[in-house]
Structure 1
């Protein structure tokens, strides 16, 4: 959901493949570094106590920025390179209550 200023806020729940936690964290480091080119900003990054998951709070200046982030060729290449060790992610659009 975009707010009245057009800002889109997301929460991403990232789960790492068993045995590939370190590779998954490196992948997330690389992917999160791409946010800025699409008007995205990482607000918070929380690590699960078991090392198997992360939660990200991300804001985009607008929905178009999020869509261009999803279509980013560098992001796709990073995911392809990781193969089956790539994390799974659930994204939830959120707003202030």
Structure 2
């Protein structure tokens, strides 16, 4: 789940406080279980400014195009005029 700016602000405010999660949630009238779930989602986010590698498959399609497919099924299709070896070198 994407972290909304509201939850990011709550998490960062809690981190700056000297309160436990339960104390912060009680003070802010937030459900502690929801806070814990959002905190878990927040901790899974990549650090700001960091880059991550995304595994892709490169294939030469019979339709004379280069198709990239990631694990979620997103596809990027490039025309055949682009060299597959150039793309592989670029990556």
Shared fold (TM-score greater than 0.5)? no
Q: Going by fraction, where is strand more abundant, 1 or 2?
A: 1
Q: Going by fraction, where is helix more abundant, 1 or 2?
A: 2
Q: TM-score under structure 2 normalisation?
A: 0.25
Q: Which has the bigger relative contact order, CA under 8 A and spacing at least 6?
A: 1
Q: TM-score under structure 1 normalisation?
A: 0.24
Which structure is larger by alpha-carbon Rg, 1 or 2?
A: 2
